[in-house]
Structure 1
Amino acid sequence: MKENIQDFLKFLEVDKKYAENTVAAYQNDLNQFYEGIGAGHDGQGPQAWNEVSKAEIIAYIDQLKNSGYTSSTVARKVAAIKSFFHFLLAEGVLTDDPTFTLDSPKVKKRLPKAISPAEIERILRAPLDEIGPKSQRDLALLEMLYASGMRVTELVSLNVSDLTFDEGSATGSVRVRGKRASKDRTIPLSGSVVNTLQAYINGARATLIHNPKEDALFLNNRGQRLTRQGLWLIIKRYVEIVGISGQVTPHTLRHSFAAHKLSQGKSLQDIQKLLGHANISTTQVYAQLNKESGDQ
């Protein structure tokens, strides 16, 4: 049974070209499902996937709900299970798919959290109180994150070659690479962000880099590409330093970027392009967020 999970993960990685983090999430969800139904245990639970019934899957879903998982997390785990069984059916491992008529859990829609422009300013200014290459790097990545509204993965995936600085002016742009070239998008950068980036590239980055062939824009202490976790820890540290209450994550800056742009008069269509949303309905939540903020 474990071998089938590995086959599915390989299918996602090689055939579907899913990102490493996405494949890892599927792996975690399916391994949890495998253990949750007691699969493979001698004399306990199913010994093959064709022995797993719809009733057992429903019981497992109820177990997740009762364990305190959010509706969105349960829905993601169920989606992983359904995709896995669809794969088993297509591969001929199963002759019947027990998840075919299984309803996906309803997800309670929660509005994204944004923080005020004043709080953003406090976070962006925090690295200025420190001296050294790391604080210069942190200033550049914080300004870039808020000025572009990029996703965390997109930011840490940036290369120096993705930046374009306009000759004769203080403006520029950054190319955000999608899974396919057709999904790439270009985000304009203001003069202040360009100046901060140029100072970082010519200063702190030149100090941090070990391998002259390294093209990653944001580097860690070892001169390697900064990771998602590394970025999260940097933001967490500055949020604690400035004393902002509540959870503020890298994605909070993305939400704040969108909400503030909308307040400044940017159209939903413009914000959709900047954020890289495939569907404008995803962008429309920021209009609701701004409305609720204004009502308070």
Structure 2
Amino acid sequence: MSEMRLHDPAGNRLYLNAEERAAFLVAAQRQPARNRTLCETLHWTGCRPSELLEITPARIDLSGGTIAIRSLKKRKDASGSTKIMFRSAPVPAEFLDTLNTAHGIREAQTSRRKTAVPIWDLSRVRIWQIVKRVMIEAGIPDAPHRSPKGLRHGFGVHATVQGVPLHMLQRWLGHAQLSTTAIYADAVGKEEQDIAARMWG
């Protein structure tokens, strides 16, 4: 398995910085409802596109302010059997209002048939295309971080800068090992300056 990292071999950043994440969110809010909520879900949860495709109305907790995300990375339990794991990602109430309005989440939750239907009936390639187009509209440069993975890594770096404990971030991102999550503590540039400013202050 390849080691996760925040820079490619040429030193290019593989994550969106704070300004790019903010610009992405603004550009996403100008999109049609389906694309907007898709982009906002990736932004607010840090989930993988394949995980986003598994989200159904039943996994949205409108009153609790969370989205249950099924981890699609295969994990084995003590007996060697593959186990299904879910994690709860907290999201802003305003975003849940948007999600509910766009997709009728509350209404779908009252119907057993609709509650198990994925919210976004798309392929991973289509998600990649939508995200890339929104990133282009947001003015994010043509570089390795202009991708859904760059958005996920940006979520991790942002959470670390904001002081989210690594064990909590590990749970939100669905990492099996804390050592994987720890790469976000290696944030650089403005993110590193923000962390250092706390030490200086």
TM more than 0.5:
yes
* 1:194, distance to aligned residue in structure 2 (A): 0.7
Matched residues in 2 for 1:148 and 1:198: separation? Answer: 16
Structure number with the higher strand fraction is 2
| Contiguous gaps of at least 5 residues in structure 1 | 1-75, 77-106, 219-224
Q: Does 1:140 align with 2:53?
A: no
CA RMSD across the alignment: 2.8
SS at match of 1:185: strand
Kept after mapping to 1: 8 A contact 2:6/2:15? no
Q: Does 1:177 align with 2:70?
A: yes
Matched residues in 1 for 2:44 and 2:83: separation? Answer: 23
Alignment-derived partner of residue 131 in structure 2: 235
* 1:246, distance to aligned residue in structure 2 (A): 2.9
Deviations 1:166-197 (A, max 9, x none): 1xxxx521111235655211112221221121
Report how many aligned residue pairs link the two structures: 171
Alignment-derived partner of residue 117 in structure 1: 18
Alignment-derived partner of residue 249 in structure 1: 147
Q: Does 1:276 align with 2:174?
A: yes
Q: Which has the larger radius of gyration?
A: 1
Q: Does 1:192 align with 2:94?
A: yes
Matched residues in 1 for 2:102 and 2:96: separation? Answer: 10
Matched residues in 1 for 2:47 and 2:94: separation? Answer: 17
Higher relative contact order (CA 8 A, sep 6+): 2
Matched residues in 2 for 1:240 and 1:212: separation? Answer: 34
Alignment-derived partner of residue 79 in structure 2: none
* 1:270, distance to aligned residue in structure 2 (A): 0.7
Normalization by structure 1: what TM-score?
Answer: 0.52
Matched residues in 1 for 2:131 and 2:156: separation? Answer: 18
Kept after mapping to 2: 8 A contact 1:185/1:274? yes
Distance 1:198 1:181, change over 3 A: farther
Q: Does 1:266 align with 2:168?
A: no
Structure number with the higher helix fraction is 1
Deviating runs (4+, > 6 A) in structure 1? 211-214
SS at match of 2:187: helix
Matched residues in 2 for 1:231 and 1:109: separation? Answer: 22
